[in-house]
Copies of this chain bind each other. A is one copy, B any other.
Amino acid sequence: MKDHAQNIPALMAEIGARARAAAAELATASPERKHAALIAAAEALWSRRAEVQGANAEDMARGEQKGLSAAMLDRLRLDEGRIGSIVAALRAVAGQRDPVGDVIAEWDVASGLHIRRMRTPIGVVGVIYESRPNVTADAGALCLKSGNAVILRGGSESFHSSAALHACLVEGLRAAGLPEAAIQRVPTRDRAAVAEMLRMSECIDVIVPRGGKGLVGLVQREARVPVFAHLEGICHVYVDAAADPDTARAVALNAKTRRPGICGAAECLLVHRDAAALGQAIVDDLMAAGVEVYAEGLQGTRPATEEDWGKEFLDMRIAAKVVDSIDDGMAHIRHYGSGHTEAILTEDDAAAARFFAGLDSAILMHNASTQFADGGEFGMGAEIGIATGKLHARGPVGAEQLTSFKYLVTGQGTTRP
């Protein structure tokens, strides 16, 4: 690549053109070749794990210096265990069925035509993400599996970690004889590259933005390219009047504390008035586990304020509130939620059905932890993220949702009357 140190539009145009060319090659790449690239990338990552940890140490040192929160640093860290998980995810994606070329539906019509609907790659995917470096590998792998070229723009905090992971992916592509530009990384921390990506409608078919409020606003203002938004996860846990106390305490604690920094972590606890005593027990459990609870109608760390509702804490804090009814709870979720994941804890199946019908978040859970909002847990091998929009992709996005389709129609010299 040429030297574009100061010229972001020229740099991005070159990356875009390379991606478009790679996408044309990838669209007809065999499943075996894509599989081989992913396995070779997994092997490269495991054999280079010390090098990757070294790059990550640079990022961690810079992050500590910049005063990143403990939760942010946790999201950033790559130890050998987490690298092992990334290697496993690469292998899991490799092992899944290749979706490209699948005939999704097939039928005959009265005119004599035979119609097939076949999966195709989308083309070029742009992924804009923040601190977690594993997204580099997951997004790269899923786009490759689905026959798409990808342009990865990670957060500046994970700059060196992402570069090291990306190098392993490229090694895999090279080993399998696939174009290296199938998985490209934007090699600059300059934020102008993000605005540029959002406008590259000639070269990018869809942008996947993963991040918080800052990115939401930028995307809403600037995007000319279609978007699969992967934005805030303001997940709610609603404790119904008919909740089982042991179930509710175990699930609510898990939903907040298992990993408070992931988008499926609970950010707000809603408690039916008739279950207020149980709600207090849950709040006590959370505080005992080190969670700060900002509460209304319950005794927490401090009273809740308006700013606490609809806030994505991503750390050991949670908002909590007593509501008068399931409908009040759902109204709160509709108003403050982000359409990501909400859970109801109840033994009353009619209440669960009401919650499932009345809310329109991507994922609704009954007696299960919101921490299950994850492509791996849904059986997709890995995920590029949890889509919070309603078009094309929604909820955990695996390889299948990164495809489009076309119709193949066969006649016998058939004309339309």
CB neighbours (8 Å) of A363 from chain B are: 406-407, 409
The reply to whether the CB of A95 lies closer than 8 angstroms to some CB of chain B is no
Residue among A220, A357, A414 having the largest count of chain B Cβ atoms under 10 Å: A414
Task: Give the segment of A45-53, A174-182, A210-218, A243-251 that binds chain B.
Answer: A243-251
Report which of B113, B246, B406 forms a contact with A395, defined as CB distance below 8 A.
Answer: B406
Q: Which residue of B lies closest to A226 (CB)?
A: B391
Report which of B111, B371, B391 forms a contact with A372, defined as CB distance below 8 A.
Answer: B111
Residue among A113, A227, A368 having the largest count of chain B Cβ atoms under 10 Å: A368
Q: How far is the CB of A21 from chain B (nearest CB, A)?
A: 13
In contact, A378 and B415 (Cβ under 8 angstroms): no
Task: Give the segment of A115-123, A133-141, A162-170, A301-309 that binds chain B.
Answer: A115-123
Copies per complex of this chain: 2
A15-32 contacts to B, CB under 8 A, are 27-28
The reply to whether the CB of A74 lies closer than 8 angstroms to some CB of chain B is no
CB neighbours (8 Å) of A250 from chain B are: 413, 415
Q: Which residue of B lies closest to A353 (CB)?
A: B408
In contact, A411 and B122 (Cβ under 8 angstroms): no
Interface size class of A (residues with CB under 8 A): 35 or more
C-alpha gap A366/B411 in the complex (Å): 6
C-alpha gap A414/B254 in the complex (Å): 9
A285-320 contacts to B, CB under 8 A, are none
In contact, A410 and B366 (Cβ under 8 angstroms): yes
Contact of A411 with B364 at beta-carbon distance under 8 Å, contacts A254-B416, A357-B28, A405-B394 already known: no
In contact, B410 and A251 (Cβ under 8 angstroms): no
C-alpha gap A77/B113 in the complex (Å): 29
CB neighbours (8 Å) of A407 from chain B are: 362-364, 378, 395
Report which of B224, B246, B389, B415 forms a contact with A413, defined as CB distance below 8 A.
Answer: B246
A-B contact pairs, 15 of them (CB 8 A): A28-B357, A109-B378, A113-B368, A115-B378, A205-B390, A205-B391, A247-B412, A251-B414, A253-B415, A363-B409, A364-B407, A365-B411, A367-B411, A369-B414, A391-B391
